[in-house]
Amino acid sequence: MPRRSRSMSRLPYSLESEAASLRAENRRLREDLIDARRNEMALTSTIARLQGDLQRLAVTTDVARQQDFHVQAMHAQAAYTANHFRSQALTAASHRVAARLTSMGRRLAEIARNIRSGDGAMYYAHRGAEQGLYELAGEVQSLQRAADGYIGPV
């Protein structure tokens, strides 16, 4: 096998220059490819982390919605209970006023009987009726204040 001489194995300068340029471009492309792979791995890791964060956020949002629902239910129950107690208090107050009205009616009936019987106690009967009406007005005002305290002024 004949050996080539050194001059035959050498490429012309323009081809050598082109080959060197292509080798340099090849190195740059390999480096770019390595950088692209590193970036891809970093992006994959970031995407996985963000997906985990998104899943945790979804769970947190779901828990918050459930808690909000429970808070709304508790608020509705508290409002119902408060209204129930207000209603009971007003009912009790109205029963007290009704009992007081019944008592006042009895006193007024007794005063009217005394007036009809003519026993001469007209002045005292009038004063008793007047006092009874003042007491009744006080009871009604007390009931009104109680109602204002429970349901606000009407």
Q: Three-state SS for 138?
A: helix
Q: How far is CA 92 from CA 28, 69, 95, 131, in A?
A: 93, 34, 5, 24
pTM above 0.95, yes or no: no
What are the boundaries of each domain within the chain? 14-151
> For the segment 85-109, what is each residue's pLDDT rounded down to a tens digit?
877 877 777 777 777 777 777 777 7
End-to-end CA distance of the chain: 122
